[in-house]
Structure formats: structure tokens, C-alpha cells
Amino acid sequence: MSLEQGPRAPSPVSRDTSAVASVDAPPELDSSDVAERVGRVREVQIRNYKSIGQATVTLGGLTILVGANGAGKSNFLDALAFVSDCLTDSVELAFKSRGGLASVRRRSGGHPTHIGIRLIADLDAHTVADYSFEIAAERGEQFSVARERCHVEEFMGEAHLFEVQRGQFKTPIEGIRPSVAPDRLALFAASATPEFRPVYDFLAGMRFYSIVPSELRKLQPPDAGDVLRPDGSNAAAVLKCIKAESPDRYRRINSLLATAVSGIQSADHKSVGQWETVEFRQDVGQKHPWTFDALNVSDGTLRLLGLLVAIYQPGRATVLGIEEPEATVHPAVAEQILEVLVDAARFRQVVVTTHSPDLLDFRDLEDDQLRVVTNPQNTTVIAGLADTSRRAIREHLFTTGELLRVGELQGDSESAVALANQLRLFGPVASPRRHSA
């Protein structure tokens, strides 16, 4: 399979993996305590969001959602993105950007009217945040936040709580007005306090990407380049920012790109009048490399660049969600992509969707990192591996990719449904985990 669309475009079939041996953690995190200091979502509970009726899903440093098209993998990631959008923009804009309330609320014979999401996150090794909200649909496209709760607790330390029902604080916060607009989340206002600011920063810092190569090809308007857009449409500006602020990360991007794409030397920001684009340099065996604008580079190369820019972008993305990173890239590059994601999970949580057997055959992938997504009777079920599939993999009877190819990668749907039926958006609050000294 060739990625290239023009006679001069490079072919990503190189298999030298030396450049991927160790992806550096951000400079602000010392490698000895990366695992302890990076926050992670421990558990997600979702009710009545698109195809998800009820789901309780645990997440690790790297979680891979595996399933057929239409199973609901993207809906799970979008539920997390919905939380971030509600906090950074507003609930109304979060709905509008998804086609309105009717497009987000789960459809069923019973016409459920409440969307609910609960996130339990370990902000660091000693502090847990338990945040949930429920949104009630009103007539037409109207809605209100029926209930919202946030609990933060440090191990052997203080606990802080606020709870809001229909815009009124049932558990007040000192210095915060006793009411909020019924279509707003109170956590935004609560972020003015030092107790709840870390929760807001963590949830607002979640980033989700479905890189669109055609958007990287276009001339891009000027941009600050501090955050990569979900489709990668400001990649040139972000690449420029990485090069200026973090030269080591910029060199790493080019090293990984050159490893995966034969002949590529580098990718760099280029100004075209008042617009911006990405310029690639390719070794063609002559004294000077050839240069190509993004317009003349393959989908696979652009998607890979977008993925690398997403991982190494400035700031501290707390959770990185990636939609089908293997799409339009050569199967030989799939292992290198997952190597980068596995190493990236050392310094930020990574959630990936895929239906690629090549991606799943990565040697260092563990079976407990997989979640099988199915959609029986138009209801998404997200489950860990069934014992039969787990045994087949651990006893080396089949690889994970082989099981997926023959349709035998099974999830433990019975346990997943039982767990989902116990979902309680406002149940007992989560406790900090004990960490040995």
C-alpha cells in the first residue's frame, strides 16, 4: 500500500525504530516521578449520550478502544470532549457544535431526557477529584443543569465539596455567589478558588483529535499556535511554536517523521504572504534537499505529522484522545505509531480508537489496555477482554490482531452491562488511592 499521491511524495515504509526508543517527557516533569505527578482519569460513567445508554469504563495510562465502525468508540471520546467544551466554552455551545441537544441525547423508545457524565480522576498521586453533572432536556432545544457535584480530597488531608441543584448551591463555596445560571456549569465559577481550580484545569486540559489531512494541506490563517485544533488545521503555527519554545521536541518530531517516512528530513513552518503552511524537506540524493509544501504531500504523511504535533504541542494536555491514528498510513508504520503513543502515555493519559489489526499486534501492548466496543441493539457496550480472548493472547495461540481479523476478539459484555447497571452519577464519592512510600 503506497501513501503517496504524486511522483515526488515520500513513501513511509522505513522500519528503523531507533528514533522511537524513548520519547522524552516534557522538561517540567523529571523522568523519575512522571508516573506519580501526571493526573489520570480513573473511571468514566456516562448516561444517555448518543449511542451510549449507560456505561462505566475504567481507563489506564493508555487505553485502546477497539471495535467496528459505528460501534460507539467515537461517542465515548466525544463524551469526554463534551465535558471539556462545556467548561471552556459553555453548555449551549457544546450542544450547538454537535448539532443541538437532540443530536447528543440518546434516542430510545423511552425518550430519555437526562444526559449524565461522571469523571473520577487522580489529579496526582495523593489527590482524587470526583465530578459529575446531569443535564435535563426542556421543551424544544432548551435544557438546564439539573444537578452538579464536585468533591476533591487529598489522602490524609482535607476534602472539599460543592453541590448545585437547578442553579442553587446546596453546599456553598465561600466567596462564590449562591446561585448560577441554570444552563451553566458551576465548576467554572468554582475554579476561582484554589480548592477546585486543579479540577477545572485538568478537565479543561483534555484534548481530542481526529486529524484531517486535507485541513493540513490548506493555507492556514495566522494563529497563536498554543493549542492544536481537533482537526489539525493550525498545525503550521503549532509547529512554529514548538520549534521556538521546545527545540528538543521539534527535533524529536522530525526524527520520528524521518524514521517513518522514507526520504523526509524535516517539516517546518512556512509563511506564504499572510497565510501559513507546512514545508517538508526531502533527501533526493543531491547536494540540496527538495522542498514540498503540504499541498504536495500524502495523506498518510500529513496525518502522521498531525499526530506528532498533537503529542508534542506546547502546554500540558492532561488527556489525549486520538481517533484512528493508523488511518491512511502504511501498515508498516502502525507499530511505530503505537510505540510513540505508548511512550507518550508516560507523561499524559492517552485514549485511542482503532479497528486496525496491525496496530493491535504491537509487541508491548498489554491485553488489559484494550476495551472492546460493540453495539448490540443500537446500544454501545464497552468491555474489557473476555477470558477466552485473553487466554488465547497470553498462551500465544493468536495475536490480538489475528483475533480481530477473524472476528474473534471478544469483550466481557456481561460484566460490562452488570457494571453499567450499577451506575450512580451521584453515588458515594471516590477516595484517594493509597500509595506506598
What amino acid occupies position 325?
A: P
Q: Which residues lie across from 63 on neighbouring strands? A: 351
Residues 6+ apart with CB under 8 A from 265: 254, 258, 281, 282, 283, 289
Residue 36 pLDDT: 40
Judge whether 271 and 293 are in contact, CB under 8 Å. Answer: no
Supply the pLDDT for residue 3. 34
pLDDT in tens, 314-354: 887 899 999 999 887 777 788 888 888 988 898 899 999 99
The one-letter amino acid at 408: E
Is pTM beyond 0.85? Reply is yes
Amino acid letter, residue 16: D
pLDDT > 70 fraction of the chain, expressed in percent and rounded:
89
pLDDT of 260? 86
For residue 332, the model assigns a pLDDT of: 76
Lowest mean pLDDT among 108-122, 223-237, 266-280: 108-122
φ, ψ dihedrals at 254, nearest 5°: -70, -35
Cα dihedral 104/106/107/110 (nearest 10): -140
Angle of the 299-312 helix axis to the 235-245 helix axis, nearest 10: 50
pLDDT band at 106, cuts 50/70/90? confident
Q: In the prediction, which pLDDT does 15 show?
A: 41
Query: At residue 437, does pLDDT exceed 50?
Result: no
Q: What's the angle, vertex CA 385, arms to CA 378 and CA 372, rounded to 5?
A: 35
Please report which confidence band the pLDDT of residue 270 belongs to, taking 50, 70 and 90 as the band edges. Answer: very high
pLDDT at 377 over 60: yes
Q: 354-368, pLDDT tens digit by residue?
A: 999 988 988 888 999
Contact 170, 164 (CB under 8 A): yes
Q: What is the pLDDT of residues 277-298, one digit of tens each?
A: 999 998 877 778 889 899 989 8
What's the pLDDT score for residue 269?
96
Predicted pLDDT of residue 195: 94
pLDDT of residue 162: 94
Average pLDDT of the chain is 87
pLDDT for the residue numbered 329 = 77
pLDDT at residue number 173: 85
Percentage of the chain exceeding pLDDT 90: 67
Q: What is the pLDDT of residue 111?
A: 59
* Alpha carbons 95 and 247: distance in angstroms, whole number: 38
pLDDT at 110: 59
Confidence tier at 181 by pLDDT (50, 70, 90): confident
Q: Is 258's pLDDT higher than 60?
A: yes
Handedness of CA 95, 98, 100, 104 (dihedral sign): negative
Q: What is the mean pLDDT of residues 11-40?
A: 47
pLDDT at 17: 42
| Per-residue model confidence (pLDDT) at position 435 | 57
Read off the pLDDT of each residue in 73-86 and give the average, rounded to a whole number: 97
pLDDT at 188 over 90: yes
**Nearest to residue 41, comparing CAs of 81, 8, 2?**
81
Residue 18 has pLDDT above 50, yes or no: no
- Grid coordinates representing 191 are 475554579
